[in-house]
Amino acid sequence: MDITMYCETRRMLLSLFFILPSALPAQQPGLPLDSLVERASDAFKSGRHEQSVDLFLQSLSRAEKEQRTDIRPAILYNLGALHHVQKNYEKSREYVELALEASRMERDSYYLATSLMLSGVLHYYKQQPDSSVSEFRRSAEVFEAMGERVRAANALAKVGNILESQGKYAEATPYFTKQFATAQGSGDSLHILYAHINMATNAYNLKRYPEAIRHQQIALGLAERFSRTVEYREMLKFGSGVYEAMSQPGKALETLKQYVQVNDSMLNAERTRQVAELEAKYETEKKEATIAQQEQDLKWERTRFWLIAGALLAALLAGAQLFRLTRILRRRNAEKEFLIKEIHHRVKNNLQILSSLLHLQSRQIADEAALDAVRESQNRVDAMSLLHQKLYMGDNLAAVDMPDYLPNLGNALLDSFGLDENERVSIRYQIEPLRLDVDTAVPLGLIINELVTNSLKYAFPGDREGQVEITLKKDEAGRLLLNVADNGVGKDGVSGQAQGTSFGSKLVQMLSQKLGGTPEIRQLESGYATTIRFEHFRTA
């Protein structure tokens, strides 16, 4: 299993049990404040996060005016959880601190424990593992004192997740074993599901692959049974990685295809929900505006009917026609934008499947030259896949944000050469805030992929440390300037075979000519550099 998939699984485990709205305190029937809080909680559960934030803020203001201190911990905690879901971590931290303070003042053990859990996750995202572990342990102690043994075990399981992130897999095992035993004893299927997920990832890290598959299969069944689509999707992706580690490429590819299908289905469902919300909001606003306009027209007609009847009728007809045309245009534009995004998404998915097939094929190749060619082809496919991902996830469907795209491309190349963790070789970026048209970004991304691959492959033989620098900016003449340099062994230190003409260098020449540029190769005092100035490029 690749490190990206594992990180996503661990982040998912660290987020469970608190991102959903927690149980609210006992409500007093008939009070408007309690009804408002209930509406906010329902909006949270149904995924209408922006509406939920607005309702919780209204609830917080009302609670302060009515001096309802008993309900403040619940409101503050849910606001912290909402901002966490929206990845606004600094705002989430502010509300969590307020929730902790309010819980202590009200002696509300439940919200003290859950707020400590969320605080631990936020410390983890801020790369403060010691503080995160401390918060999880304190949360477990509070839950244990309340008699909530299952929740206490879940809090300690988060400590196990952090130990795994530090590579301490054996030390993490007791935490997951305790969580598993406690969940089994409780009979709560949801807690049992998460316990199986933790046991599966831990078994994988300890290279106990059959055990990992056993837990993964049980977790997959529970997730399907209880319609936990996120967990179902992640367990498919995890299972593909385990089968790959077990040298079962057929099962790995089959499971990966299932993951892609489920992931596409979830994305489509989310888009459908968002479109429905926007349409409902639009229709409501349209009706309100129409009613207001009709009332105004009626009042106007009563006073000046005979003088302006003809003009009003013409205006109403013109307005109706204009409104109809405007609505048709908006709908068509929205449909076109949706289709373009879907195309980029489909292209990205197909490229990912192609990359996975190349990876599986490379496992069967013994010849080093052929293996290098397949791996380089996989890197080129990954570079284009990443670019299409940025297109369909961005706010501009025809342009790529280069300061965002290039670091992601560099990290992927470091990972493909196994250099992402040991920090022996790093990549430095000097990139102006450029948004390039897709017809420029695609060949430019492939050129950078080839040049960086060449440096990583030949410039730092053995255990040599070094750095690759990528510069992308406009020069004084308005041309697009690309410079890729390294401080490696240089041309003289590379073997004769490596210096020869390769498909990669021909590809760089061909793509450079397409953009009106010619590569200029320079031998540095320490290292090697390639500079290209492009005459033909388009920004957005």
| 397 or 155, which is more confident | 155
The pLDDT of residue 314 is 75
* pTM (2 d.p.): 0.48
Q: Does the structure show a pLDDT above 80 at 87?
A: yes
Token couple for 113: 């424990």
Domain segments of the chain: what residues?
3-248, 249-364, 399-534
- pLDDT tens for 190-231 read 889 989 999 999 999 999 999 999 999 999 999 889 888 888
Q: Does the structure show a pLDDT above 60 at 382?
A: yes
Q: How far apart are CA 535 and CA 349, in angstroms?
A: 32
Query: 3-248 maps to which CATH number?
Result: 1.25.40.10
Tell me if 53 sits within 8 A of 81, measured CB to CB.
Answer: no
The pLDDT of residue 274 is 52
Q: Is 525 helix (H, G, I), strand (E, B) or coil?
A: coil
| 500 or 218, which is more confident | 218
Strand positions, DSSP E, 452-536: 466-474, 480-486, 520-524, 527-534
Q: Which of 252, 232, 173 is nearest to 207 (CA)?
A: 173
> Cα Rg for the chain, rounded, in angstroms?
29
Token couple for 256: 């990966």
Which positions ≥6 away from 194 have C-beta within 8 Å?
13, 16, 17, 154, 157, 179, 183, 231
**Measured at the alpha carbon of residue 148, what is the angle toward residues 145 and 151, in degrees to the nearest 5?**
115
Residue 450, burial from CB neighbour count under 10 angstroms (0-12, 13-18, 19+) = buried
Q: How far apart are CA 495 and CA 110, in angstroms?
A: 66
State phi, psi for 422 to the nearest 5 degrees.
Answer: -80, -10
Task: State which amino acid sits at residue 526.
Answer: S
Long-range contacts of the stretch 38-45 (C-beta < 8 A, 24+): 40/75, 40/78, 41/78, 44/20, 44/78, 44/81, 44/82, 45/20, 45/21
Tell me if 369 sits within 8 A of 408, measured CB to CB.
Answer: no
CA atoms within 13 A on the CB side of 389: 16
Token couple for 403: 């300061």
- pLDDT tens for 140-160 read 999 999 999 999 999 999 999
- Which of the residue ranges 46-55, 109-118, 138-147, 353-362 would you say has the lowest mean pLDDT? 353-362
Encode 291-309: b = buried (16+ Cβ within 10 Å), e = exposed: eeeeeeeeeeeeeeeeeee
Beta bridge partners of 527: 524
Tell me if 52 sits within 8 A of 68, measured CB to CB.
Answer: no
The pLDDT of residue 2 is 44
- Residues 318-337: what's their mean pLDDT? 67
| Residue 363 DSSP symbol | T
Q: Which of 352, 337, 315 is nearest to 394 (CA)?
A: 337
Q: Does the structure show a pLDDT above 60 at 410?
A: yes
Task: State which amino acid sits at residue 155.
Answer: A
Q: Is 481 helix (H, G, I), strand (E, B) or coil?
A: strand
The pLDDT of residue 359 is 61
Tell me if 179 sits within 8 A of 215, measured CB to CB.
Answer: no
- What percent of the chain stands above pLDDT 70? 73
Fold assignment, 399-534: Heat Shock Protein 90 (3.30.565)
Tell me if 119 sits within 8 A of 135, measured CB to CB.
Answer: yes
The pLDDT of residue 18 is 45
